[in-house]
């Protein structure tokens, strides 16, 4: 078959997959009640309160587009588009934005993304502030992210620096466990759809359509009975260890991170929200799964370090 025919088949198939499966079923707009279900799952599975998702961005390597200059060229000496995504506690993507230039690293990717603007304008049906369990302290619902993202009312990121207090280290550890979900979601995506592991020889607009289809098919596979084959037990990280089966499949090389995204200057209110969560983690009894010397154990107490 001719190249043009192959191109049309792939492009139209991916567009149809997206049109039929995405908005109607597997990546539709989330309601307030669904956000609350996500928050309950994060608290049950990852011991993090008022968390509605985990957020991160990853580079997808593409062939150098014609006449694009340095727009898609990033600091790792490759041409990329960026997949910015959030997922729930079960590795299912809930928000995605595809196609930002690979050269963007210091401000703008999240801010200019579709769901970033929707979050800023309070247009995502995120529930109103709610109590931290077993306290009388109200805080907003938020997604968890790494230090590449700014601290905002709807984004919870770790405390910066190394010389941290006990309270801040506990908070960063708990946030890291919850944030690990999106890292594993990207790992599963790349291990199962291996075109993402290599340089994609297509125009960025066509790559966008391919990635849309891959994301919605990932959600389809995670949602249905094929989940046992798509993501069997042990395929994701257990506890706080880098031990998921997808890491072996990819030789520990998932999609590269997008790096720092902004100046990370937050308001006093956002710092207070993070401090309230940190106080909660060190003030109440809790329990958590860990791996110590190769054995899975359950830690319980007030002063874990």
pLDDT tens per residue across span 283-305: 755 444 444 444 544 444 444 44
Q: What percent of the chain has pLDDT over 90?
A: 41
pLDDT in tens, 198-254: 888 888 888 999 999 999 999 999 988 666 788 888 889 887 788 888 888 887 666
Average pLDDT taken over every residue of the chain: 82
- pLDDT per position as a tens digit, 39-83: 999 999 998 999 999 999 888 888 776 655 555 545 555 678 889
Q: What was the pLDDT predicted at 7?
A: 87
Counting the structural domains of the chain, the total is 1
**Domain range for residue 125?**
3-301
Greatest mean pLDDT range, 58-67, 104-113, 115-124, 263-272: 115-124
SS3 55: strand
**Pick from 13, 15, 6, 10: nearest CA to 212:** 15
pLDDT of residue 38: 95
Closest by CA position to 53, among listed 107, 91, 84, 24: 91
What six digits make up the tokens of 167?
A: 């309270």
Read off the pLDDT of each residue in 107-117 and give the average, rounded to a whole number. Answer: 79
pLDDT digits 0-9 by tens, 262-289: 555 667 888 999 999 898 888 755 444 4
Phi, psi of 273 (to 5 degrees): -65, -45
- Selected residue with higher pLDDT from 175 and 162: 175
- Residue 200 DSSP one-character state: B
What six digits make up the tokens of 239?
């506890």
Specify the pLDDT at position 257.
Answer: 72
């Amino acid at each position: 078959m001719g190249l043009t025919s192959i191109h049309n088949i792939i492009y139209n198939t991916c567009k149809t997959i997206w049109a039929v499966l995405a908005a109607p079923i597997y990546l539709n707009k989330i309601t307030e009640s669904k956000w609350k279900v996500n928050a309950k799952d994060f608290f049950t599975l990852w011991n993090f309160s008022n968390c509605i998702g985990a957020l991160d961005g990853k580079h997808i390597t593409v062939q150098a587009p014609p006449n694009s200059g340095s727009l898609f060229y990033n600091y790792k000496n490759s041409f990329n588009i960026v997949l910015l995504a959030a997922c729930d506690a079960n590795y299912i993507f809930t928000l995605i934005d595809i196609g930002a230039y690979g050269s963007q690293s210091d401000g703008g990717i999240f801010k200019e993304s579709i769901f970033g603007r929707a979050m800023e304008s309070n247009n995502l049906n995120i529930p109103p502030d709610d109590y931290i369990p077993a306290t009388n302290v109200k805080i907003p619902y938020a997604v968890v992210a790494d230090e590449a993202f700014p601290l905002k009312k709807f984004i919870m990121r770790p405390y910066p620096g190394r010389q941290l207090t006990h309270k801040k280290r506990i908070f960063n550890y708990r946030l890291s466990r919850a944030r690990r979900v999106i890292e594993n979601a990207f790992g599963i995506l790349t291990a199962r759809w291996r075109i993402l592991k290599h340089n994609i020889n297509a125009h960025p607009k066509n790559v966008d359509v391919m990635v849309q289809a891959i994301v919605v098919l990932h959600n389809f596979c995670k949602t249905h009975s094929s989940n046992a084959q798509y993501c069997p037990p042990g395929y994701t990280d257990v506890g706080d260890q880098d031990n998921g089966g997808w890491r072996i499949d990819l030789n520990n090389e998932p999609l590269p991170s997008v790096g720092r995204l902004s100046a990370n200057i937050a308001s006093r209110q956002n710092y207070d929200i993070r401090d309230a969560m940190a106080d909660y983690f060190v003030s109440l009894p809790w329990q958590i799964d860990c791996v110590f010397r190769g054995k899975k154990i359950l830690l319980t107490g007030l002063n874990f370090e």
